[in-house]
Amino acid sequence: MNNSILQASSASEAHTPFISPSVRACECLHVSQECRVLVARAIADCASICEEVKTTLDAAQHVNWQGTASRRFRDNLSSTTEFVESLLSEAKALKAQTDAGAW
C-alpha cells in the first residue's frame, strides 16, 4: 500500500512543471508589492476617517450641553477625542513610513 502511494506521488510530481526560483521570487515580489499598496491605502483611509471624526468631535465641543448627562457626555467626548487623535497620529506615522518606502 505504501508503495502505491509513493508511485502515485512520483507520477504526480513527474507531471508538475518546474518553476524556476527566479520566477517564484518574482511572484513573491509582486505579491509583496500588492500587499504594500493595500496597506498604504488602508492607512490613508484610516487617517482620512480619523480626520473626519476629529472634525465632528471638535464641532461637538462647541455645543452648549446641559442637564445631568452633560458632564458624562463631555468626559466621553474628551476621551474619544484623545483616542481618535492617537489613532490619527499613528496613522500619519505609518503613512510617512510607507511613503518613505520603509515597508
pTM: 0.52
* Residue extents of the structural domains in the chain: 20-99
Residue 14: predicted pLDDT: 53
The grid coordinates of residue 69 equal 448627562
Q: Judge whether residue 2 has pLDDT over 60.
A: no
| Arithmetic mean of pLDDT over the chain | 75
